[in-house]
Amino acid sequence: MKRKNKKQILLPVVLLIYVAILAIMTYPGYQASGNWHEFLSVIGISLLLAVLLFFILKRKQKIREQFNKKD
């Protein structure tokens, strides 16, 4: 059986891991400054982008599969 490329899962997961590491590293600085709105908005926007990237890549893969089936 042919193994499919799961780029639509790999890239968002890598982005989520990156965001988690950055959140852990910057948490003490934001805790000391008390600027929680900035911290949470950056984390929220990053999570939203990861989810959006997942759906965009999934749709792109589906279109690619439909195009290949026509041939």
**Structural domain includes residue 18:** yes
Is position 25 within any domain?
yes
Q: Residue 2 falls within a domain, yes or no?
A: no
CA distance 36 to 71: 53
pLDDT of residue 8: 80
In the prediction, which pLDDT does 6 show? 77
In a domain, 57, yes or no: yes
The model carries a pTM of 0.78
Confidence of residue 69 (pLDDT cuts 50, 70, 90): confident
The alpha carbon of 23 is separated from its chain's Cα centroid by a whole number of angstroms, namely 14
List of residues 6+ apart from 27 with CB closer than 8 A: 39
| 17-68 pLDDT tens trace | 999 999 999 999 988 988 899 999 999 999 999 999 999 999 998 898 888 8
The C-alpha atoms of residue 4 and residue 57 are separated, in whole angstroms, by: 13
Is pLDDT larger for residue 7 or for residue 5?
7
| Residue 63 falls inside a structural domain | yes
46 lies in some domain: yes
Number of domains, the chain: 1
Domain that holds residue 40: 7-70
